[in-house]
Amino acid sequence: MNRPALQKGFVKRLAVMAVLGMALSRYASAQSTGWETLSPLRPCLPRDEAAMTVLNGKLYLLGGRGIKPVECFDPQANTWQAMAPPPMELHHFQAVTFGGRIVVACAFTDNYPLEQPVPNVWFFDPAKDMWEKGPEIPADRRRGGGGAVVSDGKIYFICGITHGHWNGFVPWCDVWDPATNQWTRLPDAPHARDHFQAACVSGKIVAAGGRTTYGQTNHVFDLLVPEVDIFDLASGKWESSHPKIPTPRAGCSSEVVDDRVLIIGGESMAHTAAHNEVEALSMRTLTWQTLPPLNQGRHGTGSAILDGAIYTASGCAERGGKPLLDSTERLKLSAIPPENAH
């Protein structure tokens, strides 16, 4: 082959390599702006219907079916460390922190489909690596699978279900004052729902996602609640005239980023695989926005924000209770698009 032909071929190969390089660069950029699947030195235990929260600069994964130890994740050490197991099976709850301890209340125990509400509040103290039994919950307000948030030194419990996966979904809203052990009934939410997590932002409690589980009539997964209910703490009134969640699902977790409520993962009858969707409701404009999806769809677990990132771990990869996951994902808050970005 003559020299001009060789030069022409070389130039062509350079052009192809440049195009490939640009494509790979765009791919790497796209990957870096989404969720990262971490590689801890020790992964978390596979568990479902668990909870996650953050306290004193560390993540805590706790509860779930069976009795599994609390696990603590320190991003600096990059490993999950086992701590004390609970004294009883605790699952289907949203964990909150209060007074330096993790609060577990309105949880279930026992097996599917007739799980029973746990009659007491339980506390886990990470500093002492110790569980402590707390006061009883009023017998006629016990349930599991609902939301829990903290505001102004009180803990609010929203909706849930009284008889496992069988029946008894409720629109209840209660507030508990740990200082006085006073439980107060607040107005019912416009919609009963269970298998969801609540969020509190700007003096308002948001209930989005979830379902009305009714195993007694063979409707465990399909009676989803697309409506969004918002409780104004100042007025003590509920509002529900808001845009419905774009992807109805249950078993999802929630987080607050600025003035947006993020609904993460979940399960439904739409497909066997767990949902990987992450959608955000702006409390400023009351509009929904699609955010970067999870790398691995999951439901039945929690999430938490630590050091400028959202973390989630464990849960189930498919609708129902299997397969269990031991992976950990992280989304940096800087990677979340601005409101209504296109």
- Examine the pLDDT at 2 and tell me if it is beyond 80: no
Give the CA distances from residue 306 to residues 21, 218, 255, in Å, rounded to whole numbers and listed in that order. Answer: 34, 39, 11
pLDDT at 241: 79
Quick check: 31 pLDDT over 90?
A: no
Task: Give the tens place of pLDDT for each residue, 122-167.
Answer: 999 999 999 999 999 999 999 999 999 999 999 999 999 999 999 9
Q: Between these two residues, 71 and 9, which has the higher pLDDT value?
A: 71
What is the rounded average pLDDT of the residues 29-40? 76
CATH architecture, domain 39-335? 6 Propeller (2.120)
Q: Is the pLDDT of residue 17 over 70?
A: no
pLDDT for res 240: 86
Evaluate whether 201 touches 262 at the Cβ level (below 8 Å): no
- Residue environment code for 312-330, b if the CB has 16+ CB neighbours within 10 A, otherwise e: bbbbbbebbeeebbebbbb
Instruction: Spell out a b/e string for 41-65, using b for 16 or more CB atoms within 10 Å of the CB, else e.
Output: eebbbbbbbbbbbbbeebbbbbbbb
pLDDT at 113 over 50: yes
Q: Report pLDDT for 4.
A: 44
Q: What is the C-alpha separation between 61 and 301, in angstroms, rounded? A: 9
pLDDT exceeds 50 at position 32: no
Q: How many Å separate Cα 101 from the centre of its chain?
A: 19
Q: What is the pLDDT of residues 185-241, one digit of tens each?
A: 999 999 999 999 999 999 999 999 999 999 999 999 999 999 999 999 999 999 987
**Cα 259 to chain centroid, rounded:** 17
Q: Can you list the alpha helix ranges (DSSP code H) found in the chain?
A: 3-32
Mean pLDDT value of segment 290-314:
98
Residue 51 CA to residue 302 CA, distance in Å, equals 4
**What is the arithmetic mean of pLDDT over 99-108?**
98
Is pLDDT at 342 greater than 80 in this prediction?
Answer: no
Q: At 28, is the pLDDT very low, low, confident or very high (cuts 50, 70, 90)? A: very low
Give the C-alpha separation, 178 to 135, whole Å. Answer: 9
Angstrom distance (rounded) from CA 99 to CA 177: 12
Q: Tell me: cis bond preceding 323? Omega within 30 of 0 counts.
A: yes
What is the average pLDDT across 278-286?
96
pLDDT at 33: 75
Overall residue count recorded for the chain in this entry:
342
Token reading at 32: 């870096």
**Boundaries of every domain in the chain:** 1-32, 39-335
